[in-house]
Structure 1
Amino acid sequence: MKISAIKAFPSRIGASSQLLLKIESDTGYYGWGASGLTSREMAVSGAIDHFRPWLIGKDPRSIGSIWQELYRSQYFEGGRVLAAAQSAIDIALYDLKAKALGIPVYELLGGRQRDWVECFASLPFGNTLQLIERAESLLSAGFTCLRLTYVNEQTMGDAKTTFDPRKNIAAVAKSIVALRQHVGQEPTLGFDYHHRLTTPETVSFLHRMPIGTLDFLEEPIRCEDPKAYATLRQLVDVPFAIGEEFASKWQFLPFLENGLTQFARVDVCNVGGLTESMKVAALAEAHYIDLMPHNPLGPICAAATIHLAAACSNVSWLEEVNTPIQDLGLCDPKIFPLQPRREQNRYPISDTPGLGIEVDEDALANQTFTPIEVPHFKRADGSVTNW
């Protein structure tokens, strides 16, 4: 069996953009993958163009060897763009190989360890009343873990708005305290600050809430310097969920070895595909840390992550952004006629060969790609800050 074609489809699907990848073989089997790095799909597509010439003709079943060659056969190895491209290729190879063998992908990863994967529901809110109403809706739908995000004109951003962290943390903390008082102690509550804060701002935010209000805090500060997280870890007692931006097991290593994160937010479409994700899972397991996979893209990312979770023992919750309170259109059934179907707050583990995904290639080929551009945040003084 040989790889005969590699097709990249930068696509605008629903409210976001995705890069989907199809790898075809000379035997008729094919596989689908997807990259992360949302809003930079053209850069990832360019990396795939570099890889394509020497991948054509290789045996697609040699997944581990291809992963090593993708990563190591260049002087400037690694980085988020190359890792995103490698992720899409790796996932597609697993899909292809599993289909050829007539087995689900998780059988290639060691076999199924669970019957379903539980999800947390992403809950964007702009004020306390909206937060409580949306939380009630999600809890009634069967979710037991809610990951909150604050979304208003300041967090969406435009040329006339700024992000004021001190005003923001005051409003957010007040809303979360009210929610905890309303729902009681049973639901699990987390909050995602999307690396918008500094270390002292994060401390101020958490100190504005009683102990037990939040069960985890996601990505409060930037991740480039693990020592900054080490400092922050000493100042607060809320568990962290970190790692969705990481592009290799090496980036995860200091956070896992030094106890800087209590949940590993691995993104199978950013970190290097299923091959690298399984290694991150093993490193996390050695330190008694559960995965909390990042899943913001669409059905291919979700399906690959479900197979990862099926084959790992250390998984807490899978991110779910398509819920009863919001539908971003990322799972358009016209494009993805076969895709995972959530039942209340969980995805059942399917025995469909491959990832359990089908894509309407014609629908992708006929669309005009318009990449999204995320907001460019500035603070009140005009200085640039993180989105």
Structure 2
Amino acid sequence: MTRWRGLRSDDRPSSLPAESTIVKIKAIRSFPVRIGDRNQLLVKVETDAGLHGWGESGLATRERAVMGVIEHYEKFLIGQDVFAIGALWQEMYRSQYFEGGRVLTAAISAIDIALYDIKGKALGVPVYELLGGRHRHHVPTFASLKGSTLDMVLERGRAVRDAGWTCIRLLVDVGAPGARFEPWEAVARYAEWLPRLRQELGIGVCLGIDLHHRLTVAETAALCQRMPAGTLDFVEEPIRDEDPASYAALRRLTSVPFAVGEEFSSKWQFIPYIEQRLTEYARVDVCNVGGFTEAMKVAGWCEAHYIDLMPHNPLGPICIAASVHLAAAVPNFAWLECRETPGEEYRRYDSGIFRSRPQLEGTLYPVPNTPGLGIDIDEEALAQAGEFQFVEMPHLKRDDGSHTNW
């Protein structure tokens, strides 16, 4: 059987033998590097035909754990058919007794994304064509802002609005690592700030707040109830996700829409939140949930329940590119997280490593027409990237000395 029988000989990728049958995985390489202000774990899948693809893992601050899983997977993936993406996903997921979990699916995600990149390059089409084709020509984004004072928040909110963003998310500011966090202080602060921010931005802006699962059911309900109706259009990750019943209890206490799912590592974790109507926006993370293979299944399930995707996208250009292709290929889409907005002092991509990557145009990411993900990496520059650093998220404490959620 010829893998390229659907292509004319002059359309066949020049890097492949004319009569190639099965292109096989040759190696899987992990690149834990420091780019700009953060670590990134880039993953390269190489083939015996000379093609390669890039993926990225999303399990920030636990990159070494993901690398260990990738090393295990490489042992049985070498020599396998690079086009058998769905079957390889199943083999990776089901090849251990302990199923799933964020470390495993973060590794699967990076490999799965890289395999789609290879297949798109081999066939000469963008990844979204492999997912059913594009639904849109550009991907709208939402902006994030934070500040330690109300004046700072209002100033940055105006800047983001004036730059063209119509969906804006306020991030809870916890200050420097090791900072204290008292939930009821945060409830009082943001119950006062958000109505002022709404007044400043006007009713034409979709306004949300990311609580980063730092509150309880009672604290979140109090925050929502203390504000005038119509202040918030969504509240993101207000409480931990382990217990869907707690989200059901919170739903009974507030009518503000929820945006949930950036921590989910499989379609199974999404089940109760979709089936029980516990979220209005699915914060699916293609670099954690299991790559394109799993993300498309979540998207279809959400579509059947009138839930839009609002993908989590906090990493580097590979994650952005993968998220753009996912956003292009699904009908039920709201906004993509964008961390290149005014007031966000990120310098992640200015290293010369990424020779081509998605470029924000105004508030939109254009949907590319280049084969694969559309990512081109200078591996010599990558070899000179900053050394990986063991980094911890802030370990927050309350005044009584107890630990609380980051």
Q: Normalising by structure 2, report the TM-score.
A: 0.93
Deviations 1:53-107 (A, max 9, x none): 1111111111001000000111112100000000000000000110011100000
Report the equivalent of 1:33.
55
Structure-to-structure mapping, 1:73-222, within 5 angstroms: 73-153=95-175, 156-158=176-178, 161-222=179-240
Contact 2:35 2:351 in 1 (8 A): no
| Equivalence for 2:334 | 316
Partner of residue 274 from structure 1, selected from 264, 288, 292: 292
Structure 1 residue 152: deviation in Å? Answer: 4.4
Contact map agreement 1:127 1:175 (CA 8 A) in 2: no
Q: Determine the structure 2 residue equivalent to 1:300.
A: 318
Give the match for residue 6 of structure 1: 28
Output the amino acid matched with 2:355.
P
State the alpha-carbon separation in 2 of the partners of residues 90 and 84 from structure 1: 10
Aligned partners of 2:227, 2:377: CA distance in 1, in Å? 45
Specify the alignment match of 1:45 in structure 2.
67
Instruction: Write the mapping of 1:281-296 to structure 2, written as runs, cut at 5 A.
Output: 281-296=299-314
Question: Deviation at 1:37?
Answer: 0.9
Residue 250, structure 1, aligned to residue 268, structure 2: yes
Matched residues in 1 for 2:287 and 2:298: separation? 13
**Structure 2 CA distance, aligned partners of 1:180 and 1:44?**
41
SS at 1:125's partner residue? coil
2: CA distance between counterparts of 1:276 and 1:327?
32
Q: Aligned equivalents of 1:73 and 1:302: distance in 2?
A: 29
- CA RMSD of the aligned region, Å? 1.0
Distance 1:116 1:171 in 2: 36
In the TM superposition, what is the alpha-carbon distance from 1:327 to its structure 2 partner? Answer: 3.2
Identity %: 58
Please state whether the residue corresponding to 2:28 is helix, strand or coil: strand
**Alignment check: 8 A CA contact 2:174 2:180 kept:** no
- Mapped partners of 1:246, 1:16: distance in 2: 22
In structure 2, how many angstroms separate the alpha carbons of the residues matched to 1:28 and 1:54? 20
Work out the CA distance in 2 between the residues paired with 1:274 and 1:216.
Answer: 26
CA contact (8 A) 1:41 1:371 kept: no
Contact 2:66/2:103 (8 A) holds in 1: yes
Q: Match for 1:192: what amino acid?
A: D
Instruction: Give the corresponding residue for 2:3.
Output: none
CA distance in structure 2 between the aligned counterparts of 1:293 and 1:252, rounded to whole angstroms: 14
1:60 partner amino acid: V
- Is 2:161–2:201's contact at 8 Å kept on the other side of the alignment? no
> Which residue is equivalent to 1:355?
373
Matched residues in 2 for 1:365 and 1:48: separation?
20
1:210-257 Cα distance to aligned partner (Å, 9 max, x none) = 010010000000000100001001110100000000000000010000
Report whether the alignment pairs 1:58 with 2:80.
yes
Q: Secondary structure at the match of 1:49?
A: helix
Q: How many residues align?
A: 383
Q: TM-score, normalised by structure 1?
A: 0.97
Runs of 4+ in 1 over 6 A off after TM superposition: none
5+ residue gaps in structure 1? none
Distance 1:371 1:352 in 2: 35
> Quick check: 2:121–2:371 contact (8 Å CA) kept in 1?
yes
AA matched with 1:345 = T
Mapped to 1, the partners of 2:361 and 2:275 lie a distance apart of: 35
Structure 2, unaligned runs of 5 or more: 1-22
How far apart, in 2, do the equivalents of 1:41 and 1:173 lie? 36
Distance 1:371 1:101 in 2: 39
Aligned partner letter, 2:390: P
